[in-house]
Amino acid sequence: MKQFALPFAELAEPFTVEDFCPAPSNAAARDWLERPDAWSNARLVLWGEAGCGKTHLLHLWAQTRQAQIFDGPGLHGVIRPIGPVAVDDADLAPEPAALLHLLNAAAEEGFPVLLATRQPPARMGYKLADLTSRLRASASVEIRPPEDELLEALLTRLAASRQLSLPIHVRNLLLLHLPRAPGFYREAVARLDRLAMDHGARITRPMAAAMLAEMLAEA
């Protein structure tokens, strides 16, 4: 499947249980998150393509475990955790040694660690041998590409959250032509909402088609 970069900023999500769309593609991940005692070395790597729901699940797990949430790209220096640890975008840490120190410190204290990444441990490009060893010794689970039903449910939820009415022909247009990544659905609905407010009118198929062409050209 072709990977698309997202050149636009995604909207902040509330990260609540009610706003998460369970589906077969994320069922294995949800099952593993319920069983931290089964994680290898008390670590789990949750991986999948951008926008698949990793960050949402990471935040839900952190809420239930009162875990500290760290942003991978923001990891620097030596960090001493004070409880369970969740690291989003762990594969984007600019200082591999900082991530290694965090994993070691959590292990010393007996704290579980959840890592969200876009690649499985075997494909991460870290050159630090000890970090690579720790990651490969962790349990890992993939969030698979979303099903049609999940994308339809996501589109409905996103439109409803903005009180945006999408005619069936507009919905079908989006479902047919948008790349199969939730991030694109969030951006598309946000743009359609702005169009509706700017024009003070319902979204039409020509409006949606023009927005779609512009959005895909940017990507």
Model's pTM, two decimal places? 0.80
Q: pLDDT value at position 10?
A: 43
The mean pLDDT value for 95-110 works out to 96
Range 24-142: architecture per CATH: 3-Layer(aba) Sandwich (3.40)
Using alpha carbons only, how large is the chain's radius of gyration in Å?
A: 19
pLDDT tens digit sequence for 69-97: 999 999 999 999 999 999 999 999 999 99
Greater confidence, 1 or 170?
Answer: 170
Whether the per-residue pLDDT at 125 is higher than 90: the answer is: no
**87/93 Cα distance (integer angstroms):** 10
* Boundaries of every domain in the chain: 24-142, 148-218
Q: pLDDT value at position 195?
A: 93
User: Percent of the chain having pLDDT more than 90?
Assistant: 76
Phi, psi of 111 (to 5 degrees): -90, 135
The answer to whether 43 and 115 have CB atoms below 8 angstroms apart is yes
**87/68 Cα distance (integer angstroms):** 8
Whether the per-residue pLDDT at 121 is higher than 80: the answer is: yes
Res. 14 pLDDT band, cuts 50 70 90: low
